[in-house]
Amino acid sequence: MRLTNRHIALVEDDEIMGGSIAQRLELEGARVVWMKTKVVALGAIRTPHKKFDAVVCDIKLPDGTGEDLYLTLSDHIVPPPFLFVTGHGGVDQAVRLIHAGAADYLTKPFNMDQFLARLSGMITAEQFQLGESPFGISTQAIELHAALARAATSDRPVMIRGARGTGKDLAARTIHTLSDRASGPFQSVNFGRIDPSDQADRLFNDTDENQGWTRAAVDGTLFLSQLASATETAQAMLHEWLLSKPQTKVISAFNPELGPSYTDQGLRADLAQRLSAIEIVVPPLADRPDDIVWLMRRFFEKFNARRDTKLKGISVRSEDAAIHHSWPGNGSELRSRMERAVSQAQGEVLFPPDLFPETGEDKAGARPLSDVRDDAERAAILAALEQTDQHILEAAKLLSISRTTLWEKMKKFGIKSEH
Protein backbone atom coordinates (compact mmCIF):
# COMPACT_ATOMS: atom_id res chain seq x y z
CA MET A 1 0.00 0.00 0.00
CA ARG A 2 1.15 3.53 -0.75
CA LEU A 3 0.18 5.09 2.60
CA THR A 4 3.60 5.68 4.18
CA ASN A 5 3.78 9.23 5.55
CA ARG A 6 0.33 10.06 4.16
CA HIS A 7 -1.64 12.55 6.25
CA ILE A 8 -5.16 11.15 6.76
CA ALA A 9 -8.13 12.81 8.45
CA LEU A 10 -10.47 10.27 10.08
CA VAL A 11 -13.95 11.55 10.96
CA GLU A 12 -15.70 8.76 12.89
CA ASP A 13 -17.57 8.93 16.22
CA ASP A 14 -17.74 5.17 16.80
CA GLU A 15 -14.92 4.23 19.18
CA ILE A 16 -14.54 0.66 17.96
CA MET A 17 -14.74 1.43 14.24
CA GLY A 18 -12.61 4.55 14.53
CA GLY A 19 -9.98 2.81 16.63
CA SER A 20 -9.78 -0.10 14.23
CA ILE A 21 -9.35 2.16 11.17
CA ALA A 22 -6.83 4.45 12.89
CA GLN A 23 -4.74 1.53 14.12
CA ARG A 24 -4.62 -0.14 10.70
CA LEU A 25 -3.74 3.11 8.91
CA GLU A 26 -0.90 3.76 11.34
CA LEU A 27 0.38 0.21 10.81
CA GLU A 28 0.48 1.04 7.09
CA GLY A 29 2.67 4.06 7.85
CA ALA A 30 0.06 6.81 7.66
CA ARG A 31 -0.25 9.72 10.08
CA VAL A 32 -3.83 9.90 11.31
CA VAL A 33 -5.78 12.78 12.84
CA TRP A 34 -8.93 11.27 14.36
CA MET A 35 -11.92 13.58 14.89
CA LYS A 36 -15.34 12.59 16.19
CA THR A 37 -17.60 15.54 15.34
CA LYS A 38 -18.44 17.60 12.29
CA VAL A 39 -17.55 20.94 13.85
CA VAL A 40 -14.06 19.83 14.87
CA ALA A 41 -13.43 18.22 11.47
CA LEU A 42 -14.64 21.31 9.63
CA GLY A 43 -12.06 23.55 11.24
CA ALA A 44 -9.22 21.03 11.07
CA ILE A 45 -9.71 20.19 7.38
CA ARG A 46 -10.50 23.73 6.27
CA THR A 47 -7.33 25.20 7.83
CA PRO A 48 -4.96 22.29 8.45
CA HIS A 49 -1.46 22.60 9.88
CA LYS A 50 -0.43 20.20 7.11
CA LYS A 51 -2.51 19.45 4.02
CA PHE A 52 -4.48 16.20 4.31
CA ASP A 53 -3.93 13.63 1.57
CA ALA A 54 -7.39 12.15 2.14
CA VAL A 55 -10.39 12.17 4.47
CA VAL A 56 -12.11 9.00 5.70
CA CYS A 57 -15.54 10.15 6.86
CA ASP A 58 -18.61 8.48 8.35
CA ILE A 59 -21.96 9.64 6.94
CA LYS A 60 -23.66 9.90 10.34
CA LEU A 61 -22.01 12.13 12.95
CA PRO A 62 -23.23 13.29 16.39
CA ASP A 63 -23.65 16.93 15.30
CA GLY A 64 -24.57 16.53 11.63
CA THR A 65 -23.65 14.43 8.62
CA GLY A 66 -20.62 13.76 6.53
CA GLU A 67 -22.56 15.27 3.63
CA ASP A 68 -22.92 18.56 5.52
CA LEU A 69 -19.20 18.52 6.22
CA TYR A 70 -18.21 17.83 2.63
CA LEU A 71 -20.57 20.36 1.06
CA THR A 72 -19.60 23.09 3.53
CA LEU A 73 -15.93 22.50 2.82
CA SER A 74 -16.62 22.55 -0.93
CA ASP A 75 -18.12 26.04 -0.61
CA HIS A 76 -14.83 27.43 0.73
CA ILE A 77 -11.95 25.21 -0.48
CA VAL A 78 -11.13 22.39 -2.85
CA PRO A 79 -11.47 19.54 -0.32
CA PRO A 80 -9.09 16.59 -0.12
CA PRO A 81 -10.42 13.36 -1.65
CA PHE A 82 -13.18 11.98 0.59
CA LEU A 83 -13.76 8.27 1.19
CA PHE A 84 -17.17 7.93 2.86
CA VAL A 85 -18.03 4.93 5.02
CA THR A 86 -21.69 4.35 5.58
CA GLY A 87 -24.30 1.94 6.89
CA HIS A 88 -26.75 0.34 4.50
CA GLY A 89 -29.23 3.19 4.82
CA GLY A 90 -26.73 5.78 3.60
CA VAL A 91 -25.79 4.30 0.22
CA ASP A 92 -28.03 6.65 -1.80
CA GLN A 93 -26.58 9.59 0.07
CA ALA A 94 -23.04 8.36 -0.54
CA VAL A 95 -23.70 7.93 -4.25
CA ARG A 96 -25.11 11.45 -4.36
CA LEU A 97 -21.88 12.70 -2.82
CA ILE A 98 -19.84 10.84 -5.46
CA HIS A 99 -21.69 12.85 -8.09
CA ALA A 100 -20.91 15.99 -6.08
CA GLY A 101 -17.19 15.27 -6.35
CA ALA A 102 -16.34 12.91 -3.47
CA ALA A 103 -13.80 10.24 -4.36
CA ASP A 104 -15.41 6.99 -3.18
CA TYR A 105 -17.57 5.23 -0.59
CA LEU A 106 -17.75 1.88 1.21
CA THR A 107 -20.64 0.29 3.08
CA LYS A 108 -20.20 -1.13 6.57
CA PRO A 109 -19.05 -3.71 7.39
CA PHE A 110 -16.21 -3.70 4.88
CA ASN A 111 -13.09 -5.72 4.27
CA MET A 112 -10.03 -3.84 5.57
CA ASP A 113 -7.88 -4.83 2.60
CA GLN A 114 -10.53 -3.47 0.25
CA PHE A 115 -10.68 -0.27 2.30
CA LEU A 116 -6.90 0.17 2.09
CA ALA A 117 -6.90 -0.49 -1.66
CA ARG A 118 -9.63 2.09 -2.26
CA LEU A 119 -7.94 4.68 -0.05
CA SER A 120 -4.52 4.07 -1.59
CA GLY A 121 -5.92 4.26 -5.10
CA MET A 122 -7.70 7.55 -4.59
CA ILE A 123 -4.66 9.12 -2.91
CA THR A 124 -2.57 8.14 -5.92
CA ALA A 125 -5.22 9.66 -8.13
CA GLU A 126 -5.12 12.93 -6.17
CA GLN A 127 -1.33 12.96 -6.21
CA PHE A 128 -1.34 12.97 -10.00
CA GLN A 129 -4.36 15.28 -10.21
CA LEU A 130 -6.49 12.69 -11.91
CA GLY A 131 -9.84 14.19 -11.11
CA GLU A 132 -12.70 11.78 -11.81
CA SER A 133 -11.72 8.50 -13.42
CA PRO A 134 -13.27 8.10 -16.89
CA PHE A 135 -13.41 4.33 -16.35
CA GLY A 136 -15.74 4.17 -13.34
CA ILE A 137 -15.96 3.88 -9.57
CA SER A 138 -15.20 0.18 -9.04
CA THR A 139 -12.08 -1.09 -7.33
CA GLN A 140 -10.78 -2.26 -10.72
CA ALA A 141 -11.36 1.19 -12.25
CA ILE A 142 -9.61 2.93 -9.37
CA GLU A 143 -6.64 0.57 -9.57
CA LEU A 144 -6.49 1.03 -13.35
CA HIS A 145 -6.47 4.81 -12.98
CA ALA A 146 -3.70 4.59 -10.40
CA ALA A 147 -1.66 2.35 -12.73
CA LEU A 148 -2.06 4.87 -15.55
CA ALA A 149 -0.92 7.64 -13.22
CA ARG A 150 2.19 5.69 -12.24
CA ALA A 151 2.98 4.98 -15.90
CA ALA A 152 2.73 8.70 -16.60
CA THR A 153 5.73 9.38 -14.34
CA SER A 154 8.04 7.13 -16.39
CA ASP A 155 9.53 7.55 -19.86
CA ARG A 156 9.50 3.79 -20.46
CA PRO A 157 7.18 2.46 -23.21
CA VAL A 158 3.75 1.26 -22.08
CA MET A 159 1.72 -1.61 -23.53
CA ILE A 160 -2.02 -1.40 -22.79
CA ARG A 161 -3.73 -4.80 -23.00
CA GLY A 162 -7.47 -5.14 -23.34
CA ALA A 163 -10.29 -6.50 -25.47
CA ARG A 164 -11.94 -4.35 -28.13
CA GLY A 165 -14.04 -1.52 -26.78
CA THR A 166 -12.42 -1.44 -23.33
CA GLY A 167 -10.97 2.03 -23.85
CA LYS A 168 -7.30 1.47 -24.67
CA ASP A 169 -7.18 4.76 -26.57
CA LEU A 170 -8.73 6.53 -23.57
CA ALA A 171 -6.15 4.90 -21.29
CA ALA A 172 -3.34 6.13 -23.55
CA ARG A 173 -4.70 9.67 -23.58
CA THR A 174 -5.04 9.57 -19.81
CA ILE A 175 -1.35 8.69 -19.45
CA HIS A 176 -0.45 11.54 -21.81
CA THR A 177 -2.62 14.03 -19.92
CA LEU A 178 -1.07 13.07 -16.57
CA SER A 179 2.52 13.11 -17.81
CA ASP A 180 4.93 16.02 -18.00
CA ARG A 181 4.49 15.77 -21.78
CA ALA A 182 0.84 16.83 -21.58
CA SER A 183 1.56 20.15 -23.32
CA GLY A 184 3.20 18.27 -26.22
CA PRO A 185 1.47 16.50 -29.12
CA PHE A 186 -0.50 13.27 -28.87
CA GLN A 187 0.07 11.42 -32.13
CA SER A 188 -2.17 8.39 -32.72
CA VAL A 189 -1.20 5.81 -35.34
CA ASN A 190 -3.66 3.05 -36.30
CA PHE A 191 -1.79 0.62 -38.57
CA GLY A 192 -5.04 -1.06 -39.57
CA ARG A 193 -6.10 2.09 -41.41
CA ILE A 194 -2.85 2.65 -43.32
CA ASP A 195 -1.84 1.11 -46.63
CA PRO A 196 1.02 -1.28 -45.81
CA SER A 197 3.17 0.27 -48.54
CA ASP A 198 2.86 3.71 -46.87
CA GLN A 199 3.56 2.74 -43.25
CA ALA A 200 7.34 3.18 -43.15
CA ASP A 201 7.25 6.50 -45.03
CA ARG A 202 4.50 7.95 -42.86
CA LEU A 203 6.33 6.90 -39.70
CA PHE A 204 9.71 8.40 -40.51
CA ASN A 205 9.85 10.44 -43.71
CA ASP A 206 9.49 14.22 -43.41
CA THR A 207 8.25 16.34 -46.31
CA ASP A 208 7.65 20.04 -46.79
CA GLU A 209 3.96 19.50 -46.11
CA ASN A 210 4.03 16.86 -43.37
CA GLN A 211 6.29 15.46 -40.69
CA GLY A 212 6.65 11.74 -40.15
CA TRP A 213 4.67 10.56 -37.14
CA THR A 214 7.77 9.89 -35.04
CA ARG A 215 9.05 13.43 -35.62
CA ALA A 216 5.58 14.92 -35.06
CA ALA A 217 5.42 13.25 -31.64
CA VAL A 218 8.73 14.63 -30.31
CA ASP A 219 8.30 15.94 -26.72
CA GLY A 220 4.86 14.34 -26.70
CA THR A 221 3.27 10.90 -26.97
CA LEU A 222 3.13 8.41 -29.86
CA PHE A 223 0.24 5.92 -29.54
CA LEU A 224 0.48 2.81 -31.72
CA SER A 225 -2.59 0.61 -32.23
CA GLN A 226 -3.49 -2.32 -34.49
CA LEU A 227 0.16 -3.43 -34.46
CA ALA A 228 -0.89 -6.78 -35.96
CA SER A 229 -1.28 -4.84 -39.23
CA ALA A 230 2.22 -3.32 -39.09
CA THR A 231 4.57 -4.61 -41.80
CA GLU A 232 7.89 -6.27 -41.02
CA THR A 233 9.69 -3.22 -42.41
CA ALA A 234 7.73 -0.80 -40.24
CA GLN A 235 8.34 -2.97 -37.17
CA ALA A 236 12.09 -3.14 -37.85
CA MET A 237 12.30 0.62 -38.22
CA LEU A 238 10.30 1.16 -35.04
CA HIS A 239 12.65 -1.13 -33.14
CA GLU A 240 15.72 0.78 -34.36
CA TRP A 241 14.05 4.07 -33.48
CA LEU A 242 13.29 2.87 -29.94
CA LEU A 243 16.93 1.87 -29.51
CA SER A 244 17.86 5.51 -30.16
CA LYS A 245 15.94 6.52 -27.00
CA PRO A 246 13.70 9.15 -28.63
CA GLN A 247 12.33 12.14 -26.74
CA THR A 248 8.87 10.67 -27.02
CA LYS A 249 6.54 8.71 -24.74
CA VAL A 250 5.57 5.54 -26.63
CA ILE A 251 2.30 3.79 -25.81
CA SER A 252 0.93 0.82 -27.72
CA ALA A 253 -2.22 -1.27 -27.57
CA PHE A 254 -2.66 -5.04 -27.65
CA ASN A 255 -5.89 -7.00 -28.04
CA PRO A 256 -5.53 -10.48 -26.44
CA GLU A 257 -8.66 -11.64 -28.26
CA LEU A 258 -6.67 -11.69 -31.52
CA GLY A 259 -4.04 -14.04 -30.08
CA PRO A 260 -2.73 -14.96 -26.64
CA SER A 261 0.79 -13.61 -27.22
CA TYR A 262 2.46 -10.76 -29.08
CA THR A 263 4.14 -13.07 -31.57
CA ASP A 264 0.79 -14.77 -32.28
CA GLN A 265 -0.32 -11.43 -33.71
CA GLY A 266 2.76 -11.11 -35.89
CA LEU A 267 4.66 -8.74 -33.64
CA ARG A 268 8.43 -9.13 -33.61
CA ALA A 269 9.66 -10.50 -30.28
CA ASP A 270 12.37 -7.85 -29.88
CA LEU A 271 9.93 -5.03 -30.65
CA ALA A 272 7.31 -6.49 -28.30
CA GLN A 273 9.90 -6.62 -25.54
CA ARG A 274 10.74 -2.94 -26.06
CA LEU A 275 7.12 -1.82 -26.25
CA SER A 276 5.99 -3.75 -23.15
CA ALA A 277 8.43 -2.33 -20.57
CA ILE A 278 5.29 -1.44 -18.59
CA GLU A 279 2.11 -3.48 -19.07
CA ILE A 280 -1.34 -2.28 -18.04
CA VAL A 281 -4.48 -4.40 -18.37
CA VAL A 282 -7.90 -2.81 -18.92
CA PRO A 283 -10.47 -5.25 -17.43
CA PRO A 284 -13.63 -6.07 -19.41
CA LEU A 285 -16.76 -4.11 -18.57
CA ALA A 286 -18.75 -7.25 -17.66
CA ASP A 287 -16.41 -7.79 -14.70
CA ARG A 288 -17.19 -4.31 -13.32
CA PRO A 289 -20.96 -4.11 -12.63
CA ASP A 290 -20.63 -0.91 -10.59
CA ASP A 291 -19.03 0.78 -13.59
CA ILE A 292 -21.80 -0.39 -15.92
CA VAL A 293 -24.43 1.57 -14.01
CA TRP A 294 -22.08 4.52 -13.46
CA LEU A 295 -21.30 4.77 -17.18
CA MET A 296 -24.96 4.35 -18.09
CA ARG A 297 -25.86 7.38 -16.01
CA ARG A 298 -23.02 9.47 -17.45
CA PHE A 299 -24.01 8.59 -21.02
CA PHE A 300 -27.66 9.23 -20.19
CA GLU A 301 -26.89 12.78 -19.01
CA LYS A 302 -24.79 13.48 -22.09
CA PHE A 303 -27.25 12.16 -24.66
CA ASN A 304 -30.38 13.36 -22.87
CA ALA A 305 -29.03 16.92 -23.06
CA ARG A 306 -29.35 16.68 -26.86
CA ARG A 307 -33.08 15.95 -26.75
CA ASP A 308 -35.72 18.63 -27.09
CA THR A 309 -38.02 16.68 -24.77
CA LYS A 310 -35.93 15.39 -21.90
CA LEU A 311 -36.31 11.90 -20.47
CA LYS A 312 -36.81 11.47 -16.73
CA GLY A 313 -34.29 8.72 -16.12
CA ILE A 314 -33.26 5.08 -16.37
CA SER A 315 -35.45 2.36 -14.86
CA VAL A 316 -34.01 -0.01 -12.27
CA ARG A 317 -35.01 -2.84 -14.56
CA SER A 318 -32.82 -1.40 -17.32
CA GLU A 319 -29.85 -1.15 -14.98
CA ASP A 320 -30.41 -4.74 -13.85
CA ALA A 321 -30.62 -5.91 -17.48
CA ALA A 322 -27.39 -4.06 -18.28
CA ILE A 323 -25.57 -5.65 -15.35
CA HIS A 324 -26.55 -9.12 -16.59
CA HIS A 325 -25.60 -8.42 -20.22
CA SER A 326 -22.26 -9.90 -21.35
CA TRP A 327 -21.06 -6.69 -23.09
CA PRO A 328 -18.87 -8.29 -25.76
CA GLY A 329 -18.18 -4.79 -27.11
CA ASN A 330 -17.40 -3.42 -23.64
CA GLY A 331 -17.66 0.34 -23.08
CA SER A 332 -17.96 1.13 -26.78
CA GLU A 333 -21.04 -1.09 -27.01
CA LEU A 334 -22.56 0.50 -23.90
CA ARG A 335 -22.03 3.98 -25.32
CA SER A 336 -23.63 3.04 -28.64
CA ARG A 337 -26.61 1.37 -26.99
CA MET A 338 -27.20 4.32 -24.67
CA GLU A 339 -26.93 6.84 -27.51
CA ARG A 340 -29.48 4.93 -29.56
CA ALA A 341 -31.78 4.27 -26.60
CA VAL A 342 -31.88 7.89 -25.44
CA SER A 343 -32.35 9.31 -28.94
CA GLN A 344 -35.12 6.87 -29.91
CA ALA A 345 -36.99 6.35 -26.61
CA GLN A 346 -40.71 7.04 -26.84
CA GLY A 347 -41.54 6.95 -23.14
CA GLU A 348 -40.32 9.14 -20.30
CA VAL A 349 -38.00 6.48 -18.82
CA LEU A 350 -35.57 4.02 -20.41
CA PHE A 351 -36.68 0.38 -20.19
CA PRO A 352 -34.77 -2.78 -21.24
CA PRO A 353 -36.28 -2.88 -24.77
CA ASP A 354 -34.84 0.59 -25.40
CA LEU A 355 -31.35 -0.73 -24.64
CA PHE A 356 -31.80 -4.22 -26.06
CA PRO A 357 -34.34 -3.99 -28.90
CA GLU A 358 -33.12 -7.33 -30.25
CA THR A 359 -35.00 -9.04 -27.39
CA GLY A 360 -38.22 -8.32 -29.25
CA GLU A 361 -40.07 -7.07 -26.16
CA ASP A 362 -43.04 -4.80 -26.72
CA LYS A 363 -42.14 -1.34 -25.50
CA ALA A 364 -45.19 0.46 -26.83
CA GLY A 365 -47.69 -0.34 -24.11
CA ALA A 366 -47.72 0.51 -20.42
CA ARG A 367 -46.50 -2.20 -18.07
CA PRO A 368 -48.91 -3.68 -15.52
CA LEU A 369 -48.54 -2.10 -12.09
CA SER A 370 -48.00 -5.54 -10.54
CA ASP A 371 -44.95 -6.05 -12.80
CA VAL A 372 -43.51 -2.70 -11.81
CA ARG A 373 -44.02 -3.52 -8.12
CA ASP A 374 -42.44 -6.97 -8.52
CA ASP A 375 -39.42 -5.48 -10.29
CA ALA A 376 -38.96 -2.94 -7.51
CA GLU A 377 -39.23 -5.60 -4.79
CA ARG A 378 -36.83 -7.93 -6.58
CA ALA A 379 -34.29 -5.13 -7.02
CA ALA A 380 -34.58 -4.15 -3.33
CA ILE A 381 -34.08 -7.77 -2.19
CA LEU A 382 -31.04 -8.24 -4.42
CA ALA A 383 -29.53 -5.01 -3.11
CA ALA A 384 -30.15 -6.01 0.52
CA LEU A 385 -28.61 -9.45 0.00
CA GLU A 386 -25.56 -7.91 -1.63
CA GLN A 387 -25.13 -5.40 1.21
CA THR A 388 -25.40 -8.11 3.87
CA ASP A 389 -23.15 -10.63 2.07
CA GLN A 390 -26.15 -12.91 1.36
CA HIS A 391 -27.23 -13.24 5.02
CA ILE A 392 -30.99 -13.77 4.99
CA LEU A 393 -31.71 -12.59 8.54
CA GLU A 394 -29.69 -9.39 8.17
CA ALA A 395 -31.27 -8.70 4.77
CA ALA A 396 -34.75 -9.17 6.26
CA LYS A 397 -33.93 -6.66 9.02
CA LEU A 398 -32.67 -4.19 6.44
CA LEU A 399 -35.91 -4.55 4.46
CA SER A 400 -38.07 -4.38 7.64
CA ILE A 401 -39.79 -7.70 6.90
CA SER A 402 -39.72 -11.11 8.57
CA ARG A 403 -37.29 -13.79 7.54
CA THR A 404 -40.20 -16.00 6.44
CA THR A 405 -41.61 -13.24 4.23
CA LEU A 406 -38.22 -12.68 2.67
CA TRP A 407 -37.85 -16.40 1.93
CA GLU A 408 -41.29 -16.45 0.28
CA LYS A 409 -40.48 -13.45 -1.89
CA MET A 410 -37.10 -14.88 -2.85
CA LYS A 411 -38.82 -18.10 -3.92
CA LYS A 412 -41.37 -16.09 -5.91
CA PHE A 413 -38.69 -14.13 -7.76
CA GLY A 414 -36.32 -17.07 -8.22
CA ILE A 415 -33.60 -15.52 -6.06
CA LYS A 416 -31.11 -17.92 -4.50
CA SER A 417 -28.80 -17.23 -1.58
CA GLU A 418 -25.47 -18.84 -0.68
CA HIS A 419 -26.42 -19.00 3.00
pLDDT at 296 over 80: yes
DSSP summary character for residue 247: S
Q: Give the type of residue at 130.
A: L
Give me the pLDDT at residue 132, please.
Answer: 60
- Which of 8, 4, 12, 58 is closest to 33 using CA atoms? 8
On whether the pTM is more than 0.85, the answer is: no
User: 112-124 pLDDT, tens per residue?
Assistant: 888 888 888 777 6
Residue ranges covered by each domain of the chain: 7-127, 153-283, 286-359, 369-413
For residue 324, the SS3 value is coil
Instruction: Tell me if domain 7-127 and domain 153-283 are identical in fold.
Output: yes
Class of domain 369-413: mainly alpha
| Percent of the chain clearing pLDDT 90 (strictly above) | 40
Average pLDDT of the chain is 85
- Which of 100, 138, 111, 99 is closest to 122 using CA atoms? 138
Class of domain 7-127: alpha beta
Cross-strand pairs, 280:
160
pLDDT at 364 over 60: no
Alpha helices in 244-313 (DSSP H): 269-275, 289-304
Distance CA 156, CA 242 (A): 10
User: 143-153 pLDDT, tens per residue?
Assistant: 898 889 889 88
Going by C-beta distance under 8 Å and a sequence separation of 6 or more, which residues neighbour residue 74? Answer: 100, 101
- Which of 51, 137, 135, 147 is closest to 98 using CA atoms? 137
**Choices 3.40.1350.10, 2.40.50.100, 3.40.109.10, 1.10.8.60: CATH for 286-359:** 1.10.8.60
Give me the pLDDT at residue 131, please.
Answer: 47
Q: Give the type of residue at 226.
A: Q
- Which of 117, 166, 105, 159 is closest to 142 using CA atoms? 117
Distance CA 346, CA 342 (A): 9
Average pLDDT, integer, range 95-106 = 76
Where does the pLDDT of residue 88 fall: very low under 50, low under 70, confident under 90, or very high at 90 and above? low
The domain made up of 153-283 is a member of CATH 3.30.300.30:
no
Give me the pLDDT at residue 130, please.
Answer: 43
User: 261-286 pLDDT, tens per residue?
Assistant: 777 777 889 999 999 999 999 999 99
Which has the minimum average pLDDT: 191-205, 246-260, 315-329, 355-369? 355-369
User: 382-410 pLDDT, tens per residue?
Assistant: 877 777 777 777 788 888 888 778 888 88
User: Residue 248 is inside which H or E element, if any?
Assistant: none
pLDDT at 173 over 80: yes
What are the Cα distances from residue 120, in Å, to 110, 265, 390?
Answer: 15, 36, 28
